Structure 1
Amino acid sequence: KLDVLTGIEELSVAVRYLGPEGASFDDFPYHQSIVHKSVGDYEVVPGWSEDIGDARRFEDLPPEARDYLELISDHVGVPVVLVGVGPDREQMIWTDEARTHAGAPA
C-alpha cells in the first residue's frame, strides 16, 4: 500500500532501537523491560507527491518512492516483490525480484 504515503513530505523509518545506557538494537529488543525504556532511531527520507496509481513497473515510481522501498528492503533483509499502488487489485507492481520466483506474472 505505497499509495497511502503519497503526499507526505518526509517519511520517518525506524532503523533501530536505542536503549538505556547507550545500547543499540538492530532487532526488536529482547526483553519487555528493555522495550519500555527504548526509543526508535529514525532515518528521514523525502516523500513524493506524484500520483502512483498508474505505475505498473518499479521504474514508473518516483525516485523517492523507489528509494523508500529500497531502504525498507535493505533494513529487513528481504526483497520487495509486490507493491500496491492503489485500491484496485490491478494496481500492483511485481518487481524484478518477484519475476525470479515461480508464479509471478511476466
Structure 2
Amino acid sequence: KLKENHGLLDAAIVFAPADIVTDTAIKSVKKGGIIVIATIGKNPEFSAFEEKTIRGTLIGSTKDMEQVIKICDENDIEVIYETFPLDEANEALQKLKNSKIDARAVLIP
C-alpha cells in the first residue's frame, strides 16, 4: 500500500521492532536510497545490486521519540501506526512480538 500511495521512497526510517517492517522499508526505497534501522531485529536481507544504504542506530528514549515526532510534524512526514485502547495493551504486545503489526503500536488511555 505504501508504494501504491507514494511510489518508491528516497529514504525510510524503521522504528518498529518487527522484521516485516524492515523488509517493507527495504523494498519501498528506490535504488540508491537510504534505510535507517532504529530498532533491534534480524539482519536484513537485500540485494547489493540495488545500491541501497542501510544504517543502524539505537534510539528510543522519550526525548529521542519527542524529537522524531517534532521532525515528522514539521516536515509533513507520514507516520504509519496502529492504535489500541489501553485495556488491550497485552494484545498489542503479543501482536508486536509476532510481527502482526505493520508499524508502531500506540496505546490510547
Q: Same fold (TM over 0.5)?
A: no
Pick the structure with greater CA Rg: 1
**Higher share of residues assigned helix:** 2
**TM-score of the superposed pair, with normalisation by structure 1:** 0.25
